[in-house]
Amino acid sequence: MPNYALAIDLGTTTLAASLIDTASGKRLAMTGGMNPQRRFGADVVARLDAAVSSEETLLQMSALVRTELRRLAHCLCEQTGISWENVHQFAIAGNPAMQHLLLGLPVTSLAFPPFRPLFTGGKRVTAAELGWDGPAEGYVFPMPGGFVGGDTVAFVYGTGDRGPGTGTSLYQSPIPSPRSLFLDMGTNGEMALATDDSIWATSAAAGPAFEGGNLTCGMAALTGAISSVRIEGERVKLAVIGNAEPVGLCGSGAIEAVSELLRHGIIEPNGRLRASGEIPSNLAARVTDHRGENAFVLHRDARRLLPLTQGDIRQVQLAKAAIRAGMEVLAERSRIRLQALHEVVLTGSFGAVLRQEWLKTIGVFDQGMVQISRFTPEGALAGAERALAAGDGFDSVERLGERFRVVPLSGTPLFEKLFMTNIDFPHP
């Protein structure tokens, strides 16, 4: 009799869920949506502040995300024709704040020094404990530190060494290759660098810009989101998810838009968007004043204006500086130069495609990293799926979690120095 299981990536901005056949590891269906907690703040810090100030708010955030995850689970069952009663397992991976809020746990230890989770190993839960129906028993991934959580462990677990000739995550070793860098460019900027005996990990508060958050017309990578912005000659060409009318800009579109504007000299290396009078091409007509600041118009029609503003560019600058500085701190602590990496694995809710060359243009990668990097769009979700299919009671996940060594960045002079060093974009 088939055994079905539910995998969940509990993101700060977006949620993803899939239904798998654990015998084969095959994904049967996948769905996703926005994290309904976003009404309490776009990032982890805002939600922790809200949860600390009011127990009622904490419980409300917990109920919101539990209800939405239950809805996604039932959507998957409807898509596949599988009864929820036949789903016997689930696994959930999120950052420490999201996992604490899901479980309705106090978050004071995360919000204040020494910024530690209430538990570091994985936690067993039942459907009933989350207010769900059905017989399913679940597992919430380990949280090695206050800002390095289950999503990072799941990401590394799901993208370990590939077994010979298989090409599937089910038969991969969960042990990452030494000198591998794992980079989740989401709101919390989690990253991990594997050595022979440890996995050095940290979290750089990048903000939600790389996921389309905090941008003037930003949105998640859903239908209607501009996912690609190309400048060819004096024409701007857009790609939109679902081939729909553009209604906003997702992370990959924002990264490429900044990359293209840098390449054409419309954005200066210090991040300044040039005024129309300083641009010697017809692209100058796209630069306008938007609420008191310069903006480059990506799309305009009778119903909406979709600009990339000076403020949006600053958000991308801050995010990329935090990510790059965090990477350099990990390199220093692990004593592995970034130029000596064997592999870089990227994940994040940017959109359908993220070209590594864009990350070089904005200053996250150097040329060597571009050549050894690969992008997996569902890092944490793939890890949760793989853990469910392993059939070892999550023992291999626990062993992997014990190898993590967390490097705090908050108040670290080296991080602050590197952040300021990397705030500008590279010169063309």
Residue 26 CA to its chain's centroid (Å): 23
Q: How far apart, in whole angstroms, are the C-alpha atoms of residue 393 and residue 169?
A: 17
Residue 158 sits in the same domain as residue 224: no
Residue 67 sits in the same domain as residue 150: yes
Which pLDDT value is given to residue 377? 80
Above 60 in pLDDT, residue 163?
A: no
pTM attached to this predicted model: 0.90
The per-residue pLDDT for range 229-247, each reduced to its tens digit, is 999 999 999 999 999 999 9
Q: Classify residue 214 by burial, with Cβ atoms within 10 Å: 0-12, 13-18, 19+.
A: middle
Q: How far apart, in whole angstroms, are the C-alpha atoms of residue 412 and residue 428?
A: 30
Boundary (domain end) residue, out of 288, 310, 332: 310
Residue 69 sits in the same domain as residue 135: yes
Q: Classify residue 113 by burial, with Cβ atoms within 10 Å: 0-12, 13-18, 19+.
A: exposed
Q: How far apart, in whole angstroms, are the C-alpha atoms of residue 71 and residue 325?
A: 38
The angle at the Cα of 408, spanning 92 to 383, to the nearest 5 degrees, equals 25
Residue 161 sits in the same domain as residue 213: no
**What are the C-alpha distances in Å from 149 to residues 182, 214, 246, 329?**
14, 23, 34, 19
In a domain, 416, yes or no: no
What's the pLDDT band for 356 if we cut at 50, 70, 90? confident
In a domain, 99, yes or no: yes
What's the pLDDT band for 168 if we cut at 50, 70, 90? very low
pLDDT over 70 percentage in the chain: 95
Residue 277 sits in the same domain as residue 385: no
Residue 387 sits in the same domain as residue 268: no
Residue 201 has phi, psi (to 5 degrees) of -140, 150
What CATH code is carried by the domain that includes residue 151? 3.30.420.480
Mean pLDDT, to the nearest integer, of 255-270? 97
Boundary (domain end) residue, out of 271, 294, 310: 310
In a domain, 18, yes or no: yes
Q: E strands of 165-277, at which residues?
A: 180-184, 190-194, 199-203, 225-232, 235-240, 248-249
Range of the domain at 97: 4-165+380-391
Above 80 in pLDDT, residue 220?
A: yes
Residue 156 sits in the same domain as residue 39: yes
What's the pLDDT band for 412 if we cut at 50, 70, 90? confident
What's the pLDDT band for 166 if we cut at 50, 70, 90? very low
Q: How far apart, in whole angstroms, are the C-alpha atoms of residue 7 and residue 17?
A: 6
Q: Classify residue 191 by burial, with Cβ atoms within 10 Å: 0-12, 13-18, 19+.
A: buried
| Residue 420 CB neighbours (<10 A) | 11
Tokens of 74: 């039932």
Residue 158 sits in the same domain as residue 12: yes
Which pLDDT value is given to residue 159? 87
In a domain, 33, yes or no: yes
Boundary (domain end) residue, out of 282, 310, 338: 310
Tokens of 37: 């907690």
In a domain, 268, yes or no: yes
Q: How big is the chain, counted in residues?
A: 428
In a domain, 338, yes or no: no
Residue 10 sits in the same domain as residue 132: yes
Q: Across the beta sheet with 235-240, what order do the strands follow?
A: 235-240, 225-232, 248-249
Mean pLDDT, to the nearest integer, of 330-353? 88
The per-residue pLDDT for range 55-79, each reduced to its tens digit, is 999 999 999 999 999 999 999 999 9
The structural domain count of the chain equals 2
Q: Average pLDDT over the chain, rounded to whole?
A: 92
In a domain, 225, yes or no: yes
Residue 71 sits in the same domain as residue 152: yes
The per-residue pLDDT for range 65-121, each reduced to its tens digit, is 999 999 999 999 999 999 999 999 999 999 999 999 999 999 999 999 889 999 999
| Residues linked to residue 222 through DSSP beta bridges, in sequence order | none
What's the pLDDT band for 177 if we cut at 50, 70, 90? confident
Residue 106 sits in the same domain as residue 14: yes
Residue 245 sits in the same domain as residue 160: no
Encode 76-108 in three state secondary structure. Answer: HHHHHCCCHHHEEEEEEEECHHHHHHHHCCCCH
56 membership: H or E segment, kind and range: helix 55-80
Which pLDDT value is given to residue 354? 73
In a domain, 106, yes or no: yes
Above 60 in pLDDT, residue 162?
A: no
Q: How far apart, in whole angstroms, are the C-alpha atoms of residue 131 and residue 352?
A: 33
The per-residue pLDDT for range 399-410, each reduced to its tens digit, is 999 999 999 998
